[in-house]
Amino acid sequence: MSEKQTVRLLDPLFTTDSMREIFSDRRRLQGMLDFEAALARALARAGVAPDASVAPIVAQCSADRFAMDVLAREAALAGNLAIPLVKALTAAVAKSDAQAAGFVHWGATSQDAIDTGLVLQLREALDLLQRELAQFSSPLARVAEKHQSTLLAGRTWLQQASPVTLGLKVAGWLDAIHRHQARLANARREVSTLQFGGAVGTLAALGDKSPAVAAALASELKLQLPSIPWHTHRDRFAEVATRLGLLVGTMGKIARDISLLAQTEVGEVLEPAESGRGGSSTLPHKRNPVGSAVVLAAAIRVPALVSVLLTAMVQEQERGLGGWHAEWETLPEIFLLAAGALAHLTHVVDGLEVFEEHMTHNLGATHGLILSEAVAIALAKHIGRSPAHQLVERAAHRALQSGRPLRDLLLEDQEVRARLSSAEIDGLLDPRNYTGSAASMIQQVLADEKKNR
């Protein structure tokens, strides 16, 4: 019986169809059935079960053959989904081959099927995220390269500090994404590990055949064979959650930057415009940063979900009570939110509208104060750092009080003029001359991007 379709009104806002499909009820069930089918083949390969038992079991290992609503009700009584599923699978196999039915789930326990099924989902979900991160890197690199010389005010503590370039800012975002690509690749390798230990992790039911069955099962599922089962050692799942939490945190930082730059009073960038996007139910003129809002919502929600996985690591003895159960919906939810945030952010950066004239205007908002460090550094070569800092600080305060340009006050200061010519002062107050190594840093990140492709 196929899974009943449910309308999820907020899914298009907070996640993607492809990630929702990976963590659908049907795919959860199919992952466990893939474990059972692989176990049947492994038992035959190791000589535990007859070869003839494989086909009847594998033939029934399709999620579409099971009634989801019935399994859900029975799982609520049993405490996990594997118990009613194995019961139903055994009954289905018995209808065609009673002997084969006796080898369903042989030597395994519920947690083996549930954990390994989830591992198969996680592997696919991480592959999807990796592909989508690679897609996100492309518009980031394009914006960084196009705007490597586009000047705007660098801001610290939300105040103008010194000039930067838009390319440098975006290259910083891209560099962080490169780190997350490496982290997720490592997490995929680590989590792609078979869970197979039987009741208490000894595989006692399989006797001396247990190593051969475990090796064959790992081979069938293309998973790593661990040295020992990990029923109550949840670091692999917690690591995946934590690394996704880091990714969502970085995406939140990018969304925060974009939304701040898009404020009306700043107006340096805007999210892409399209029909029905970012409007207001009341204010006709509004163009709200919808994409950034969704990403920031994920950045608020995911850390708490990650903490659940970290807390759930403290499990009892050989099988956990409650901590294991807490992972089942929490880990998929992290993936769903991460995928949704990434999709929105990719769309935003790909169509980002940049207003260079506003950036130039904002650079001049302080009438030269944004270049005060450049002047202080130049003077420091003549009178030392501290005296130079104090001298320029006094001039800056007078500029703020009087509303006059910093240049005028510097030209009127005899101590400054004794050491710097008007031409030198003009050069120091030109933001194009004070971006340091921004260009070379951008080029290095873009070179890293090319290596990653």
DSSP states of 384-395 as a string? -HHHHHHHHHHH
Sign of CA dihedral 343, 344, 348, 351: positive
Beta bridge partners of 152: 164
| 319 contact partners, CB below 8 Å, separation of at least 6 | 111, 200, 231, 232
Burial readout 16-37 (b: 16 or more C-beta within 10 A, e: otherwise): beebbebbbeebbbbbbbbbbb
The CATH number fitting domain 1-108+205-220, selected from 2.30.29.30, 1.10.3210.10, 3.40.640.10, 1.10.275.10: 1.10.275.10
Chain segment 119-155, per-residue pLDDT in tens? 999 999 999 999 999 999 999 999 999 999 999 999 9
Question: How far apart are the C-alpha atoms of 113 and 81, rounded to whole Å?
Answer: 9
How many other C-beta atoms are found inside a 10 Å radius of the C-beta of residue 133?
19
Q: Which residues are catalytic?
A: 280, 319
Question: Which residue shows structure tokens 């991007």?
Answer: 449
* Structure tokens given for 401: 């009080």
Beta strands in 212-365 (DSSP E): 269-270, 353-354
Chain segment 271-316, per-residue pLDDT in tens? 998 765 655 556 455 678 889 999 999 999 999 999 999 999 999 9
Query: Which regions in the chain score pLDDT beneath 50?
Result: 1-4, 283
Q: pTM of the predicted model, to two decimals?
A: 0.93
Domain ranges of the chain: 1-108+205-220, 119-147+155-193+230-363+439-453, 369-428
- Contact call for residues 392 and 377 (beta carbons, < 8 A): no
- Pick from 320, 321, 323: nearest CA to 307: 323
Q: Assign domain 369-428 to its CATH superfamily.
A: Fumarase/aspartase (C-terminal domain) (1.10.40.30)
How many other C-beta atoms are found inside a 10 Å radius of the C-beta of residue 427?
16
pLDDT of residue 20: 94
Beta bridge partners of 156: 159
- Contact call for residues 53 and 43 (beta carbons, < 8 A): yes
- Pick from 344, 262, 258: nearest CA to 295: 344
Question: How far apart are the C-alpha atoms of 105 and 87, rounded to whole Å?
Answer: 10
Question: How far apart are the C-alpha atoms of 376 and 387, rounded to whole Å?
Answer: 9
pLDDT of residue 282: 61
The 3-state DSSP class for residue 199 equals coil
- Contact call for residues 425 and 407 (beta carbons, < 8 A): yes
The 3-state DSSP class for residue 354 equals strand
* Structure tokens given for 131: 């592909």
Q: What angle do CA 272, 264, 151 make, to 5 degrees?
A: 75
Q: Domain 119-147+155-193+230-363+439-453 is in which class?
A: mainly alpha
* Structure tokens given for 279: 């409007």
